Chains A and B, each alone.
Chain A
């Protein structure tokens, strides 16, 4: 039998990573006018995306040569040419320090080998089964806290918690340790702004998962960690450092991006009541609503690649050693691909896919789970919160941030049935 190891909290228990995190993601209300201005000037512009919106220095990347790549075709070119635009050098100074030797910090052939093993645990037919068994109970439990009130802050009381709790349930973590996990999962990323709580959180999560893996190898169960701890590829188990790094990243990315994606989806529908009404009347519109929310305000506005050889992008020369700010948000709001790109429109007829989950070999492993979670969450809200509307007595929701965008609050009212 597995005795769940205890996760140690940060030494400074009063440290609040959620407040500090906002320093690195910023409070920019609308980065898109600037993004459009830059993209109209050129698909390649010297400098960093981050420094367009904040004066907070980037301790890990700020001193490195950087360009921004903007527009759908240029961004897709970078993402789908991994032999030129590499991940390892791009993410070693940031996510590599937070998570360790994760697949995000690898390139082929190492990446190809490990990616398939991890993806197998998150294929559509696998995560679809989690919808009923894992996602619905978490969603239902959280809704019980406010469903009787007729009003709620859907960010503070729901979206900020449910995707993290889905991940905790899937790896059978002790619910009592949930708040500490959430805190450390976020604190890991603070390495990027040079705070000591970043490596401290990474170390404590690493120690926890190393012990948990040891136990799951000795006494495997039906849970995700047992599966990953014992799965073999070409007769080899996943190395501990790769697996622990993946679990660190899962604790963060598996929750954080879905929290932001669901928050934006709900905000978009509530601020476009005609489209909310259409979805209520026809739930088959939910997939289109999710894809449009992901396009309109994707969870991650920009990602990095490292240019490994002298090359060019759309005719613009790029020197080997340049770090590429690959501005996903500019691709998803490219007027050449998405007419009236700033408009949220679930009836939009697209001729290309949105790049919210990126493209190429590093396409988000958890994208299918994210869609299952967003679908289940939206269906539950529409089922149990009739006459859902913005609370007219509270401030309207405002999506903020230049890199990871989300509203801080989404105050709603609904009828109590």
Chain B
């Protein structure tokens, strides 16, 4: 399985759960996550995420 992962801390974006604590509703596709959204764990930019095999 592949997923978008923060390369600064390893947090994984799960489309099914989104990131409700940061206003990203469950089901939100990665492409629809705003560019100014930040990793909820470490604050890295969306651009710091890579698609990784998990």
Contacts and interface: CB of A to CB of B under 8 A. Distances in A.
> Do the two chains belong together in a single complex?
yes
B21 A120 contact: no
The prevalent SS among residues of A at the interface is loop
Which one of A82, A120, A360 has the highest number of Cβ atoms from chain B below 10 Å of its Cβ?
A: A360
Interface in A347-383: 351-353, 359-361, 363, 367-368
Contacts of B10: 119, 122-124, 367-368
Interface residues of B, number: 15
Nearest to B5: A123
Contact of B43 (A124, A361, A368): A361
Nearest to A364: B9
Interface string B22-54: 000000000000000000111110000000111
B17 interface: no
A116 interface: yes
Given A119-B10, A124-B54, A125-B54, A361 B40 contact: no
A80 interface: yes
Given A359-B42, A363-B41, A125 B52 contact: yes
B47 to A, nearest CB: 12
A125 B54 CA distance: 5
Contacts of A119: 7-10
Nearest to A126: B10
Nearest to A80: B43
B52 A123 contact: yes
A204 interface: no
A115 B9 CA distance: 9
Nearest to A82: B43
Contacts of B21: 351-353
Interface residues of A, number: 20
A116 B7 contact: yes
Nearest to B20: A351
Nearest to A357: B41
A360 B41 CA distance: 6
Contacts of B52: 123, 125
Nearest to B53: A125
B42 to A, nearest CB: 5
A115 B8 contact: yes
A361 B44 contact: yes
A164 B34 CA distance: 41
A116 B8 CA distance: 5
B42 A361 contact: yes
A351 B19 CA distance: 11
Contacts of B44: 361
Interface in A224-283: none
Interface string A105-131: 000000010011001101111000000
Interface of A: 80, 82, 112, 115-116, 119-120, 122-125, 351-353, 359-361, 363, 367-368
Given A361-B42, A368-B10, 19 more contacts: A80-B43, A82-B43, A116-B7, A119-B8, A119-B10, A120-B7, A123-B5, A123-B52, A124-B54, A125-B52, A351-B21, A359-B42, A359-B43, A360-B43, A361-B8, A361-B44, A363-B9, A363-B41, A363-B42
14 contacts: A119-B7, A119-B8, A119-B10, A123-B52, A124-B12, A124-B54, A351-B21, A359-B41, A359-B42, A359-B43, A360-B42, A360-B43, A361-B8, A361-B44
